[in-house]
Structure 1
Amino acid sequence: MKKHLITLTLALAGFGFAQDAAPTPAPETPAAPTVEIPKDPNAVAATYGDQELTLAEFENEYQAYAGRLLNQQGMAATPENFRYFDAYREQILQDVVQQIVAADLANQMGYGADPAIVDAQIQQIKAGFQDEAAYQQAVKDAGIRDEDFLKELIARDLSTQNWIRSLSERAEISDNALMFLYTLDKAKFNRSAQACVRHILVQTPEIAATTKDRLDKGEDFAAVAKEVSQDPGSAAQGGDLGCFAKGETVPEFDKASFEGPIGQLQQVTTQFGTHLLVVDKRTDAGVVPFEEAKTELAASLKDRAAYKIMQSQLAKVEVDLNEDVVHVDAPAPAETDPSVAPATDDGMGDMDMGEDMDMGEDMDMGEEETPPAP
């Protein structure tokens, strides 16, 4: 099980909920006291198409945005920690508005999130906590107003993903273009030795014995994993962890993955509980063959093309940002903790597809529909 999957953290639709937040580090230089000047919560922070985002609505978005970044650092979303983002409120306003516009356009095109999938993700998040109170506290610690707003954020993210996926699936890239890129940057496809593993994580040897008995009697591994595995990162995928290099998992799990038998059920105990695992295959270190690499390469190029088309649609929506409405006096830049500051990007957060690449006639995206302006 990968180290980032076996911390007590959930990450669904881009939202992290730390069950045990690390102590908040004290800033090296205390922030200078500021005098808060009350602002009208109904003041318009931004307009997009014929819609408005008020200051009160922005504050909800801002706290969820900053809370996600703080949680990634093991810090709770508290007023004291929000001060790290005072200097970035205008940038966050731009990011938030673009995310809202992208989701609105996706909904207009018929890519809206299925409410059942949103509810399933909420239930999967809840399953990672001891009880309802712990879950509600985690939502609060993530800077999210309440569960309804969490659902809204997840639905927005899923809608945009659906749109990008649809665009990506319609892209066609020739094998000649892929071979050219593969040959041009072959070093990029060097990999270390890897193991591809499925596992079921349970908390006691007794539960492990019962689960092993079910598997020995022929029950489907993926179905059992979805039912009983306590690993939130892989349970929904039937226990599939994918392939990983040596050293990416805790030592006991690593040893079983790289030294244990292939295709046979193994049992190993780590600090996270008891694992029932199956190593599906191992690959040697070296250059990934073209036939294997082209799928990943094509997916990356298709996502970039989809992202460019999405950006072209976003550019057609008239947006007016009232930055003065969201501005607050902030400490000097040197006092802002760079580890929690939002990265400067083009406004779409985690959806950065890297450098543009024009494949000319070798990439065909077809025609993209233009939705009515929101």
Structure 2
Amino acid sequence: MSNLRKITALLLVVLMVALTGCGAKEENGVTTEGVTKVDRTNAVAVVNDEVVDIDTFNIYYAMYETAYKQYYGEDILTQEFEGVKFGDVLREDILDMLVQDSLIRSYVLSTGFTIKDDVFKEKYDELKAMLEEDTETKTMYDTIGVTDAFLEKQVQGSILMEEFTNTVNGMIDAETARLEELYKTEPVQVSARHILVADEETAAEVKTKLDAGEDFAELVTQYSTDTGSVATGGDLGYFPRGVMVAEFEEAAFTQPIGEIGEPVQSSFGYHIIKVEDRQTIAELIEAGEDEAVINDFKQQIKDSLYNEYYTKKIDELKAAASIETFIDKVTPKTEG
């Protein structure tokens, strides 16, 4: 199921990360003798007495449904992955997202943060202007019933999410000892060379020759289809994360220095990789690297920690919260 959740997270319709749809307590409950009674009639979740309403859920679901069908075909929601229909996974993911959004909204507002009118107006006007230019999205929003009130909540939510992001980044900045250790131990750039060939059979042939002691540069000239690096004996120089395709990057950042790894397949073909060197931030500082470059690498390491600390904070909020969910209200018996 975890892989499916990653898939659903990849596709974002406009402002899908926005916090929205959580009605204020005074709008959804009545107070009698100091006790708040929450009306659960239209609730898909109740988070600390705050209602996540079914209409908001349905709008989000319709957005995702439209996008997924457009990109993956009309039958995507009925397809099964690991024995579970994709539509059911999507429903669970949207519900979990809205629960998290409610927790984040309440937390940020509890810190005393307020949304300034001028900031809200600027972002709302930007969203409206974008929708006017993007007629396809505007038509889709109109079709599924997105109202101005819904858009206003999305803008409010996006501002609150920005503040929550600042909170998470503050948690990371406070981890000075851990960051200093990562600056010393985490490779931030790699120097490698490779031979790129079209098929597995040729890759195995080249690897056998390399294992027998034949010269890497000569085999680059003889076999490699990467014309850009043939003249340098396959040398790609130093490169950071996020530059190469994922399969190549994974091998380059984990393979032992000086060794020639097993062929790695990517969309370009098969790579035979030799890692020449890896450098940490501490090593770059010692080598006199420019401060701006160092700061960029430090930020990359902080960014790599974001999901961990975001999840940590969300788990903390969940543990302290009262949460009820009603997935049965949005799970049909059949789906065609």
- What TM-score do you get using the length of structure 1 for normalisation? 0.43
Q: Is the helix fraction higher in 1 or 2?
A: 2
Larger radius of gyration: 2
- What TM-score do you get using the length of structure 2 for normalisation? 0.47
Q: Which has the higher contact order (CA 8 A, sep 6+)?
A: 1
